[in-house]
Amino acid sequence: MKTCTVQTVLSAVNQLAPKRFAEDWDNVGLLVGDRNAAVTKIFVCLDVRDENISQAIDLGAQLIVSHHPLIFRKMSDVRLDKPLGRHIARLIKSDIAVIAAHTNLDKTSGGVNDVLANQLGLVDVKIPDDEEISFVRLGRLPMPMTAADFARHVKKSLNAPTVRLVDAGDFMIERVGLCSGAGAEFILNAQFHGAQAFVTGDVKYHEAQAAVENKIHVVDAGHFATEFPIVRVLAEYLRDELKKFPVEVVEDTQSKDFFATV
Binding residues among 213-232 for Zn ion as defined by CB under 5 A: 227
Cα 249 to Cα 176, 241, 252, distances in angstroms: 33, 11, 10
- Which residue, 227 or 251, has its beta carbon nearer to Zn ion? 227
- Taking the complex as a whole, how short is the minimal distance between the CB of residue 124 and Zn ion, in angstroms? 25
Separation between Cα atoms, residue 67 and residue 70, nearest integer Å: 9
Binding mask 123-162 for Zn ion (x = CB under 5 A): ----------------------------------------
- Taking the complex as a whole, how short is the minimal distance between the CB of residue 259 and Zn ion, in angstroms? 13
Site size with Zn ion, rule: CB under 5 A: 2
> What are the backbone angles phi and psi of residue 93, rounded to the nearest 5°?
-60, -30
- Which residue, 9 or 112, has its beta carbon nearer to Zn ion? 112
Please give the residue whose beta carbon sits closest to Zn ion in the complex.
Answer: 181
DSSP code at position 193: T
- Taking the complex as a whole, how short is the minimal distance between the CB of residue 248 and Zn ion, in angstroms? 26
**Using the rule CB under 5 A, which residue among 69, 128, 181, 183 binds Zn ion?**
181
Residue 234's CB is within 10 A of a number of other CB atoms, namely 27
Separation between Cα atoms, residue 231 and residue 114, nearest integer Å: 13
Separation between Cα atoms, residue 67 and residue 216, nearest integer Å: 29
Binding residues among 66-105 for Zn ion as defined by CB under 5 A: none
Separation between Cα atoms, residue 37 and residue 49, nearest integer Å: 22
- Which residue, 51 or 174, has its beta carbon nearer to Zn ion? 51
Range 214-226 burial, b when 16+ CB lie within 10 A, else e: eebbbbbbbbbbb
Closest CA to 100 of 33, 5, 174: 33
- Taking the complex as a whole, how short is the minimal distance between the CB of residue 141 and Zn ion, in angstroms? 24
- Which residue, 96 or 112, has its beta carbon nearer to Zn ion? 112
Number of residues in the chain: 262
- Which residue, 50 or 202, has its beta carbon nearer to Zn ion? 202
Separation between Cα atoms, residue 81 and residue 95, nearest integer Å: 20
- Which residue, 33 or 69, has its beta carbon nearer to Zn ion? 69
- Taking the complex as a whole, how short is the minimal distance between the CB of residue 203 and Zn ion, in angstroms? 14
- Taking the complex as a whole, how short is the minimal distance between the CB of residue 79 and Zn ion, in angstroms? 25
- Taking the complex as a whole, how short is the minimal distance between the CB of residue 101 and Zn ion, in angstroms? 11
Binning the chain into helix, strand and coil, the percentages to the nearest 5 are: 35, 20, 40
- Which residue, 158 or 168, has its beta carbon nearer to Zn ion? 158
Interface residue list for Zn ion (CB under 5 A) = 181, 227
